[in-house]
């Protein structure tokens, strides 16, 4: 799915318990998310659900088997009290330009990083990205990711076409700098709604109809 002029890579849905969240999403959408893997330096693990057009939902939880990373984990995972959409990612073919745009808004959000892991099929996933931070709970400015050096994409091997990302709505108190940054990244064709607190509301079409997660 595109939002404005950009393609969405994935939606980050932080959950207290990964297995419980997999079961919940399967009950609500009729499709079971697939276990992805562990982020050893971040203290998390994930499961993935294809949303069409090389876009996916990432269910992200604290990895109970990782005793090395116990705080300041990424994506706001340490701050959740319930399952919450806390981050979202755009595909990037110009990390430098995106880094400059994001850094003009908040330099802490503009740190470049790279990583890799082997997926369940034995293929190497490699990425370069603008690194999501540990706070706040919800960050409306998307991080960006470049998969051009990877052997595969996380959507490869998922159940393609089972679900579809229908819409994403960004909610926040009035913030001209935030809106200007989003307009630079996305263009003008995106949905922004004034609200008391920051929220990312996502509508997904599944086998049983549409659900909204936020």
Strands 199-206 and 124-130: unpaired
Length of the chain: 214
| More confident site: 91 or 116 | 91
Task: Answer whether residue 161 shows pLDDT above 80.
Answer: no
Give the predicted TM-score (pTM) of the model. 0.96
Cα angle value 127/21/16 (rounded, 5°)? 80
pLDDT per residue as tens digits for the range 179-201: 999 999 999 888 889 999 999 99
Question: What mean pLDDT comes out for the span 89-113?
Answer: 97
In this predicted structure, what is the pLDDT of residue 158?
87
pLDDT per residue as tens digits for the range 27-64: 999 999 999 888 999 999 999 999 999 999 999 999 99
Indicate the number of domains in the chain. 1
Supply the CATH number for residue 71's domain: 3.10.180.10
Q: How far apart are CA 130 and CA 113, in angstroms?
A: 6
Range of the domain at 11: 2-213
């Amino acid at each position: 799915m595109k939002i404005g002029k950009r393609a969405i890579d994935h939606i980050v849905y932080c959950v207290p318990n990964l297995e419980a969240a997999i079961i919940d999403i399967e009950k609500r959408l009729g499709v079971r998310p697939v276990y992805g893997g562990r982020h050893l330096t971040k203290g998390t693990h994930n499961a993935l659900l294809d949303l069409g057009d090389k876009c996916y939902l990432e269910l992200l939880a604290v990895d109970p088997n990782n005793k090395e990373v116990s705080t300041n984990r990424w994506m706001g995972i340490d701050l959740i009290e319930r399952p919450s959409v806390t981050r979202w990612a755009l595909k990037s073919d110009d990390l430098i330009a995106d880094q400059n745009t994001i850094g003009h808004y908040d330099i802490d959000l503009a740190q470049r990083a790279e990583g890799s892991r082997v997926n369940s099929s034995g293929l190497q996933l490699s990425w370069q990205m603008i690194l999501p931070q540990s706070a706040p709970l919800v960050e409306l400015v998307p991080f960006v990711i470049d998969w051009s050096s990877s052997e595969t994409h996380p959507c490869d091997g998922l159940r393609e076409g089972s679900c579809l990302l229908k819409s994403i709505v960004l909610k926040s108190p009035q913030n001209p700098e935030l809106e200007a940054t989003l307009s630079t990244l996305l263009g003008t064709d995106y949905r922004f709604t004034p609200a008391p607190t920051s929220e990312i509301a996502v509508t997904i079409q599944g086998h049983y109809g549409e659900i909204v997660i936020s």
